Structure 1
Amino acid sequence: MSANGRRQAVLTSLVLAVGLGLAYALLVGKPGPDPRPAPELAPPVVDIVSVQPAARAIAVDTQGSVQPLRQVNVVSRVAGQVEAVAPGFAEGGFFRAGEELVKVEDVDYGFAIARAESQVAAARQRVAEERGRARQAKREWRDLGSETANALFLRKPQLAAAEAALAAAEADLAAARLDFQRTSISLPFNGRVSRKLVDVGQYVAPGSAIAEVYSTDAVQVRLPLTDRQVALLDLPLTYQGEDGAARAPVPVTLEARFGNRQWQWRGAVVRTDASIDVSSRVVYAVAEVTEPFARRAGSERPPLAPGLFVHARIEGRELPGVVVLPRSALRSDDSVLLVDGGERIASREVQVLQGDARQVWVQGLRRGDRVVVSEPAVMTAGMRVAVNEVSSVAGVDY
């Protein structure tokens, strides 16, 4: 090897040795990592309310349509021509109890009364004659000196037949007079005509429809109630064999929109339907409102007419240990989140009594429980949190 070749080999070896030394120094001689504790994250902040259970009466909201309490079809019980109708005998017209609505021609019935009276007079004459003959026969038999007498000789069958004929004649007279009275058609309650079916000059037969009317003394509203709503109310349930003692009515407020204004009426739940609705499985409570067409002094409130759709609020019975919470506090499984003394999250099931879009009424909480009303996206049982106590949520005070 020449001198230049040896020199090149030595330089290459030196460069390689220097490179290996630098690499070793970088890999082995660099300083190690400085261990530091991980930074502690602040616990999430949740809004809470401290609850105070108390006895509360919870109102139940439902709805229904107004119906007549008493609705009947008026029919004629006699035949004849209609000769007069009352001024109020028109669709929508009002009438009073006992007021004559329709008058049927009664001339033929007056003739029937006269004939019946004649038959009664003749029957009374026959009875008087038979009684006189019976007394005469009894004297004649006694003059013969016999103790026993033949009933036919004493004219007992003849007298009984005459008395029976008199009773029949009197019954015919009573029937004729009753038919005469029935030519004047009226009703025993205050009402309103919903449909008029005859007018002056029309001939009616027995059983002919005259009108459809309903009572104006009271109206009713059938209100559907779910099982949960029934538990909040003191409904007037009845049982077989009850003595019929009066119970306090359950107040109800009806509200409807009429003439671009909201109006209210006060009524009472008086009974429930005889059975549970098969299709919807709800119980119907029947509310009544008295004098729905009466006008109060100084009031512009319209009448509570049948067919009007109303919203109803029924006053509930007082329940113990009720808490009102914002809707955001209730979870989908009917539970709420609490913050315990260690500032950790715990879950508790509650009994939901009633609820709307803003708040819920529940049972199952204790005095002083801190209920979470707004929570972070991720929340698990046992998680530590920081609390922010609030007194109202979405404008509702707690």
Structure 2
Amino acid sequence: MDIKRHRFTLMFVIIIASLLISFLLGKLKSPPEKMTISTEPLVSTMVVAYDNINISIESQGTVRPLDATKISAEVSGTIINISPKFIPGGVFSKDDVLIIIDPDNYFAAQEKSKALLEQRQNEFDNAINIREKGYLSESEYLSAATALASAKSELVKADKNLNRTKVKLPYDGMVLSKDIGLGQYITVGTPLGMTFATEYAEVRLPLSDRDLSFIQLPTAKKLLNSGVGSGPKVIFTAEQLGPLAKWEGQIVRSEGVVDEKTRVTYAVARIDDPYALQDANSSLPLPMGTFVSADIKTRTDYTVIPIPTEALKNNRQVIVVNSENRIQLKDVKILNADAKYAYLIDGLDEGERIVITPIENAMNGMVVRINVNENKLTTVLTKDDDLSVNEK
């Protein structure tokens, strides 16, 4: 019994000693350092600078042919020949014979008209001789003259009908559709197909009043003689055709009215040789119907401060940081803006540092922390850059 009591006492002492040692060791440890958590917003900044830049106006439109033709038969008959070029996508030159209608009947009509004209000419010559001798009345002379004029008219008509058996077009072009087949009998007015000229293409570009304040369109007076003016240059791109697909054009006129529903003015830009048929070194073909983006070059240099649009607050303010890292909200005047940049013309001084990351509940005097790993920029763009405005 004493042995059991002795063992119990020994175990109790060991437990108490272990607890005491653990307590003392805990007291000897240094207290953990308190972490300081900064509540000041971490921001990125840039130093602003004025720059002279060219602003571009952005628009868009669909490529259309300058001239398109719905071809209809001018004479009736059987189609005896169709050019291999007369297929959708086929390319032809001016005065190429695309379709031939059986000319036999029209050739016969021409020969008949020639014979009739020869007969009427002889009759008229005889009438003149008889009239000079006083044996022919005035009415008989006039009748012979009228018959001669009618015969001449019939020959002209016969010649035209014979020429109409060969279908030609007065321009270099491309076939859009073919509506007839070899051996088909057609009548006057039968649709034969549709073609368009490939020398030029045009794009209608919608422009707002704001856009028009940056560019000068050809005036109506300048279009009086040729119908074509000399307006701003335009660079066209088509994302669906690849990043390198670019074409140069020029605004040649406006449509002269403001659309009452959309309140936009349509400028018309022209692109030479859109299918690159005349110049082997030309750019990629630009098919009709392609939707393109247009970058219209202005003729004026603007002195602005370009900043990222993210730096704008309430679309009219920017946040300036002073040497003590305290912020100040400043009102600015914006020339224009697009999806990436705002272009300021007043409100900031050269060399000021602005915040280019959003700050919630920004107030004057608030202290911020500057991102020390950021690249310190002097400006967003250089003067060689073209800035785009008015994305639509």
Q: TM-score, normalised by structure 1?
A: 0.73
Say if 1:228 and 1:44 are closer, same or farther in 2 by CA, change over 3 A. Answer: same
Of 197, 201, 216, the residue aligned with 1:219 is: 201
- Inter-partner Cα distance in structure 2 for 1:241 and 1:266: 21
CA distance in 2, matches of 1:269, 1:46: 44
- Asked if 1:308 is matched to 2:290, the reply is yes
Separation in 2, partners of 1:206, 1:162: 33
State the Cα deviation string for residues 103-126 of structure 1 (Å, max 9, x = none).
001111111112211221221122
Matched ranges for 1:165-314 at <5 A:
165-239=147-221, 248-258=230-240, 262-294=244-276, 297=280, 302-314=284-296
1:61-87 superposed Cα distances (whole Å, 9 cap, x missing partner): 232222222111011111111010111
Partner of 1:155: 137
How far apart in 1 are the matches of 2:96 and 2:105? 23
SS in structure 1 of the partner of residue 150 of structure 2: helix
CA contact (8 A) 1:340 1:346 kept: no
User: 2: distance between equivalents of 1:237 and 1:330?
Assistant: 37
| Cα distance change on mapping 1:215 and 1:81 into 2, 3 Å | same
Partner deviation per Cα, 1:34-60 (whole Å, 9 max, x = no partner): xxxxxxxx9989766554434421112
| Structure 1 range deviating more: 340-349 or 326-335 | 340-349
Deviates more, 1:241-250 or 1:210-219: 241-250
Query: Are 1:355 and 2:338 counterparts?
Result: yes
Paired position in structure 2 for 1:368: 350
Distance across 2 between alignment mates of 1:260 and 1:397: 25
Distance across 2 between alignment mates of 1:51 and 1:288? 39
1:133 counterpart residue number: 130
Structure 1 contact 97–188 (Cα < 8 Å) conserved = yes
Q: Structure 2: which amino acid aligns with 1:266?
A: E
Per the TM alignment, residue 193 of structure 1 is displaced from its structure 2 partner at its CA by: 0.8
Larger of the two Rg values belongs to structure: 1
Say which of 360, 377, 388 aligns to 1:392. Answer: 377
Change (3 A) 1:263 1:87: same
Partner in structure 2 of residue 111 of structure 1: 108
The whole-number CA distance in structure 1 between the counterparts of 2:148 and 2:74 is 26
- Tell me what 2:92 maps to: 95
Aligned pairs (5 A) from 1:9-48: none
One-letter code aligned to 1:169: A
Gaps of 5+ in 2: 1-38, 383-392
Shift in Å, 1:246:
7.4
Distance in 1, matches of 2:359 and 2:86, equals: 70
Residue 164 of structure 1 corresponds to which residue in structure 2? 146
State the identity as a percent.
25
- Is the contact between residue 322 and residue 353 of structure 2 (CA under 8 Å) also seen in structure 1? no
2:80 maps to a residue whose letter is E
**Corresponding residue SS for 2:133:** helix
- In structure 2, distance between residues paired with 1:208 and 1:242: 37
After superposition, the CA RMSD in angstroms is 3.5
SS at 1:81's partner residue?
Answer: strand
Contact 2:228/2:253 (8 A) holds in 1: no
**Is the Cα–Cα contact under 8 Å of residues 64 and 289 in structure 2 kept in the other structure?**
yes
Aligned residue type for 1:353: N
* Residue equivalent to 1:60: 57
Partners in 2 of 1:188 and 1:355 — Cα distance?
Answer: 45
Residues 107-160 of structure 1 show CA distances to partners (whole Å, capped at 9, x for unaligned) of 1111111221122122112211221111111xxxxxxxxxxxxxxx76233222
Cα offset, 1:262, TM superposition: 4.1
1:50/1:243 CA distance change after superposition, 3 Å: farther
Structure 1 contact 232–316 (Cα < 8 Å) conserved: yes
TM superposition shift of 1:368: 2.5
Q: Which amino acid aligns with 1:123?
A: R
Distance (whole Å) between structure 1 residues aligned to residue 105 and residue 223 of structure 2: 51
**Distance (Å, rounded) in 1 between the aligned partners of 2:336 and 2:286:** 31
Which AA in structure 2 matches 1:53?
Y
Alignment-derived partner of residue 317 in structure 1? 299
Per the alignment, do residues 247 and 134 of structure 1 end up closer, same or farther by CA in structure 2, a change over 3 Å counting? closer
1:186 Cα offset (Å): 0.4
Equivalences, count: 339
Contact map agreement 2:319 2:329 (CA 8 A) in 1:
yes
1:223/1:284 contact within 8 Å kept: yes
- In structure 1, C-alpha distance between the alignment counterparts of 2:94 and 2:227, rounded to whole Å: 29
> 2: CA distance between counterparts of 1:348 and 1:175?
78
Structure 1, unpaired ranges of 5+: 1-41, 138-152
Q: Deviations over 1:178-207 (max 9, x none)?
A: 110111000010111111011210011111
Instruction: Give the Cα separation in 1 of the matches to 2:361 and 2:226.
Output: 58
Correspondences of 1:77-92 after superposition (within 5 Å): 77-92=74-89
For residue 345 of structure 1, what is the aligned residue in structure 2? 328
SS of the aligned residue for 1:124 comes to helix
3-state SS in 2 of match to 1:219: strand
2-side partners of 1:89 and 1:368: how far apart? 65
- Measure the CA separation in 2 of the matches of 1:249 and 1:238: 12
**Deviation (angstroms), 1:264:** 1.6
Cα 1:115–1:272 shift into 2, 3 Å: same
Shift of 1:222: 2.0
Q: Mean alpha-carbon deviation: is it higher for 319-328 or for 91-100?
A: 319-328
Q: CA deviation at 1:271?
A: 1.9
